[in-house]
């Protein structure tokens, strides 16, 4: 599933194409994705100007001139593809319709935004902009990793007394929004922390390392356009490249990336997810 860097990369690709433009025509081609689509979705979108495009955790939020916000979640295989306009140095013509093109937005300047989702684990909803933070998908989310609310003091307070593994704690969206399996593995490697360590047992200096490293790893991933594993693509259809920088994720059996370490990257399963780590570097 796309994590914060992938969603932020898609948002950045969509922003110059969508913001300030009007949806001339909305074509909603099925009644549901992971959840039922909102009633009269096409009518509620058509003719509305897109005033802004923002991200909350792993969700893209398009604020409309109607006072409603279009919430978009990419799910496992969802893609927001742009055609009929320039993206960077390239013009993308409108492609032939595909089987899994479920929602198509034609903008007033000829650009087209297509939501394609083969597995239909994605989601879309329309909600009142003023009450967006109270939406069931957003209400319980923790602070954004790059926001002022996510600090060393905050994290230390939230981890205090918790017996769950630090890997599970950082994946808890109520603690910090947007982190997923890939980037938590990479953060814990850089922090030298074993993913099975109890969150509440970390020393103060160990907790203090996590906040800047979370921002560092996420920032590098955003700069690289995210990590392309299986289905993820950027808005223009391009791949992300951060997977070429993985130090532990999906490297089971390979030599640790730390110079002169020589240990082998291991994998354990925690709550049904694979955790990759170096037994020598991460204590």
- Does 213 score more than 70 pLDDT? yes
Q: Angle at CA 42, nearest 5°, toward 41 and 46?
A: 120
pTM of the predicted structure, to 2 decimals: 0.90
Share of the chain above pLDDT 70, in %: 90
- Record the tokens describing residue 184, joined without a space: 């938590």
Q: Are 174 and 140 in contact (CB under 8 A)?
A: yes
Domains of the chain from N-terminus onward? 4-134 (3.20.190.10), 152-277 (1.10.8.50)
Task: Quick: pLDDT tens for 218-233.
Answer: 998 888 776 544 443 4
38-69 pLDDT, tens digit each: 999 999 999 999 999 999 999 999 999 999 99
Annotated catalytic sites, by residue? 2-3, 58, 273
pLDDT of residue 48: 98
CA distances 268 to 194, 196, 243, 272, Å, are: 11, 9, 20, 10
Q: For 232-280, how does the pLDDT look when each residue is reduced to its tens digit (9 = 90+)?
A: 344 555 444 344 468 999 899 999 999 999 999 999 999 899 999 999 9
CB 240 within 8 A of CB 225: yes
What does the alpha-carbon distance between residue 19 and residue 13 come to, in Å, rounded to a whole number? Answer: 11
Phi and psi at 45, nearest 5°, equal -90, -35
pLDDT score at 231: 47
DSSP 3-state of 237: coil
Q: Is the pLDDT of residue 104 over 80?
A: yes
Per the CB < 8 A criterion, the answer to whether 115 and 122 are in contact is yes
Q: Is the pLDDT of residue 89 over 80?
A: no
């Amino acid at each position: 599933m796309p994590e914060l860097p992938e969603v932020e990369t898609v948002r950045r690709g969509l922003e110059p194409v969508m913001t300030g433009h009007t949806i001339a025509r909305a074509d909603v081609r099925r009644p549901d994705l992971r959840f039922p689509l909102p009633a009269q979705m096409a009518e509620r979108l058509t003719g509305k100007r897109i005033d802004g495009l923002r991200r909350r955790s792993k969700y893209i939020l398009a604020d409309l001139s109607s006072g409603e916000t279009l919430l978009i979640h990419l799910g496992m295989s969802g893609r927001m593809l742009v055609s009929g306009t320039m993206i960077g140095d390239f013009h993308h013509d409108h492609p032939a319709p595909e089987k899994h093109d479920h929602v198509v937005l034609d903008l007033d300047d000829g650009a087209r935004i297509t939501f394609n989702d083969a597995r239909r684990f994605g989601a879309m909803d329309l909600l009142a902009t003023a009450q967006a933070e109270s939406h069931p998908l957003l209400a319980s989310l923790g602070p954004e990793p790059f926001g002022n609310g996510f600090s060393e003091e905050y994290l230390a307070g939230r981890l205090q007394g918790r017996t769950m593994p630090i890997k599970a704690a950082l994946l808890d969206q109520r603690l910090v929004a947007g982190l997923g399996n890939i980037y938590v593995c990479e953060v814990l490697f850089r922090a030298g922390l074993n993913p099975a360590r109890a969150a509440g047992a970390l020393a103060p200096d160990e907790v203090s390392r996590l906040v800047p490293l979370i921002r560092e790893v996420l920032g590098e991933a955003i700069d690289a356009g995210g990590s392309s594993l299986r289905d993820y693509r950027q808005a223009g259809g391009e791949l992300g490249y951060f997977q070429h920088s993985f130090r532990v994720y999906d490297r089971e059996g390979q030599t640790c990336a730390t110079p002169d370490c020589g240990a082998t990257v291991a994998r354990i399963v925690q709550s049904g997810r694979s955790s990759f780590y170096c037994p020598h570097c991460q204590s």
